[in-house]
Amino acid sequence: MKKIELLDCTLRDGGYVNDWEFGHDNIVILFERLVSSEVDYIEIGFMDDRRTYDVNRSIAPGSSAMNELYAGLDKKNAFVVGMIDYGTCDISLIQPQSETIMDGIRVIFKKEKMHGAIAYMKQIKERGYKVFCQAVSITSYNDSELEELIGLVNDLDPYAFSLVDTYGLLHKEQLMHYYNFANIHLNENIKLGYHAHNNFQLAFANCVELIESFDNTRDLLVDGTLYGMGKSAGNAPIELLANYMNTHLDRHYHVNQLLEAIDVTIMDIYKRIPWGYNMKFFVSASNDCHPNYVTYLMDKKKLSMSSINHILAKLEGDKKLLYDQDYIESLYLQYQNRECDDKVDFDALKKELYGKRILLLGPGKRIYSEKDRVDAYIQDNEPTIISINFIPEEYPVEYAFLSNSKRYVAQATKISHKDVKLIATSNVTKAEGHFDYMFSYSKLLDEDALIADNPMIMLIRLLKDMNVESIALAGFDGYEKTALPNYINANMEHTFSKELAMEINEDVRKGMKKLDLGNSIVYVTNSLYE
């Protein structure tokens, strides 16, 4: 009689959340409660020779360190496994199975490393362990590649082979395709497993789909973690899986023991470092790509979500799941560098601004904390006022310069009700109709700068070519790494270290110097750019 079994990997996969620093008391609590719950398998952590032994962390350099970490604990009838990311733990650090707490070892590996990983697992098997072969990023395999892998797995004859949906990309139809393909080609004595992630909120639903599709031809192994704890969007919650199997399959897992473990240990971690479904992981999953691509583009704080999706749609081949910062930066710049013929708009705006005094308003807090200085400048000079990527209520703005899609989208309704002329760069798309003036984004960039598309530098470059009389700046405070926000609107904030803040300030100073404006720039409010 074949069976469906549960494997808890909280102490291993959950550790991505907190760098495996559960604290030794909590490691003991989690282990003992999982043993008492009678889940079938307990994964106790990573073996990684790049790490030193730490009694408070469930990641250790080898099998002897795992023994030390769990010394004196009674595993009773639990089947205990550790995990190795192929290439991170030398085989010399793996003792014979008879000398360790572990009954088995799971090995994860990427597609391009399958041959080396299979050879490595053979050595682990020779040391007496039950070997679990974990194919990460299963969605990166086409059928012929998966058939090749399963042929190697059959030759190895491991204890189990698992489909690992690393980035939570699988929907029901795709999942069942991979499962049925593996079920047909895999030797019947090898258990078939599934490890889900929750980017689409489908981890639990997909596990249930497999459980309900169970055909009794081989054992099925389903992974989960307490409260779904895990990197990115998290995993399938094992308490839900245990409860489902108790209700529908007449199993007898002690769910209360799982809930006690969650209440005593996991919830404290969750309050400090939450995990689970969110927009970033949905966007990465819907584009079948590594979540770091989404993080990179969102951190720009210049792109609307539609723009981000447009860029992600350009990702190709294996690059989708193998994060490459240079690659995504090139796609970002290609997207932003949409050209337009701006000669007519340039001539028209130049006619309006030629020879005038210009006051540029930035979103720094000093346009309010030093408002008396700004008001005095306006009264004495009667400048034409242009705000950058926002429209302040307290000042008589005549023009707004828009170079940031994200900020434009956030303010589009407000802007539409203002009697303000809009000057936009070609990377910004209007909700309806056309902007008053549109200029080529790429022509205004400073390619050598740390931030090539600094909006203040871009606009000053444009105004210089229009021969305005002078340019005054207010609200361009510069960047500080402090506990207080730099901007009047928290949504405009950037996240960076104090060192990078100083570097950005110096970069802007260099950019201003390159413009060779002489004494025509006036700082109305205090600025770190001076």
Confidence of residue 431 (pLDDT cuts 50, 70, 90): low
Between CA 322 and CA 448 the distance in angstroms is 27
Query: Measured between alpha carbons, how far is 102 from 89 in angstroms, rounded to an integer?
Result: 16
Task: Tell me how crowded residue 473 is: count the other CB atoms within 10 A of its CB.
Answer: 23
pLDDT at 38 (0 to 100): 97
Mean pLDDT of 139-163: 97
pLDDT at position 130, please? 98
Instruction: Give residue 491's pLDDT.
Output: 46
Residue type, 210: L
Contact 19, 56 (CB under 8 A): no
Contact indicator for 12, 58 with CB cutoff of 8 Å: yes
Please give the pLDDT value at position 490: 47
338 — pLDDT class (breaks 50, 70, 90)? low
- What is the percent of the chain with per-residue pLDDT over 70, rounded to a whole number? 95
Give the span between the Cα atoms of 481 and 19, in whole angstroms.
25
Pairing state between β 357-361 and 41-47: unpaired
Does pLDDT of 482 surpass 70? no
Structure tokens at 447: 């390619």
More confident residue, 408 or 297: 297
pLDDT band per the 50, 70, 90 thresholds, residue 479: confident
Q: Please, what is the end-to-end C-alpha distance for the chain in angstroms?
A: 78
Q: Mind listing the domains of the chain with CATH numbers?
A: 4-272 (3.20.20.70), 279-336 (no CATH), 343-523 (no CATH)
Q: Is the pLDDT of residue 492 over 50?
A: no
Most confident option among 194-208, 402-416, 503-517:
194-208
Residue in 445, 442, 452 with CA at minimum distance from that of residue 507: 452
User: Is residue 55 classed as helix, strand or coil in its secondary structure?
Assistant: coil
Q: What is the pLDDT of residue 498?
A: 63
Q: Would you state the structure tokens that stand for residue 25, as one six-digit string?
A: 């008391």
Q: How big is the chain by its Cα radius of gyration, in Å? A: 29
> HSE-up of 187 (CA within 13 Å, CB side)?
14
CA–CA gap between residue 348 and residue 215 (Å, rounded): 73
Higher pLDDT, 491 or 459: 459
Confidence class for position 493, pLDDT limits 50, 70, 90: very low
Q: Mean pLDDT for the chain?
A: 91
> Which residue from 151, 154, 98 is spatially nearest to 128, judged by alpha carbons?
98
Going by DSSP bridges, is the β-strand pair 384-388/399-402 parallel, antiparallel, or unpaired? parallel
Q: How do residues 216-230 score in pLDDT, each as one tens digit?
A: 899 999 999 999 999
The tokens describing 417, both together, are 């009700």
d(CA 377, CA 383): 8
* pLDDT score recorded for residue 483: 44
Task: Dump pLDDT digits (tens) for 16-61.
Answer: 999 999 999 999 999 999 999 999 999 999 999 999 999 999 999 9
Write the pLDDT tens digit of every residue in 378-409: 999 999 999 999 888 889 999 999 988 778 87
Q: Kindly state the average pLDDT of the residues 319-335.
A: 89
Higher pLDDT pick, 118 / 232: 118
**pTM (two decimals):** 0.69
Taking the C-alpha atoms of residue 409 and residue 304, their distance in angstroms, rounded to an integer, is: 7
Calpha distance 524→474 (Å, rounded): 5
DSSP 8-state assignment for residue 383: P
CA 64: distance to chain centroid?
Answer: 34
Closest CA to 225 of 514, 8, 428, 498: 8
Lowest mean pLDDT among 313-317, 368-372, 409-413: 409-413
Select from 182, 77, 96 the least CA-distant residue to 134. Answer: 182
Residue 180 to residue 58: CA distance in whole angstroms? 34
**Cβ-proximal residues to 142 (8 Å cutoff; 6+ apart), any chain:** none
Phi, psi torsion values for 454, nearest 5 degrees: -60, 120
Burial of 211 (0-12, 13-18, 19+ CB in 10 A): middle
Mean pLDDT of 180-199: 96
Tell whether the model's pLDDT for residue 177 goes beyond 70: yes
- Asked if residue 7 has pLDDT above 60, the reply is yes
pLDDT tens, 444-457?
Answer: 888 777 787 889 99
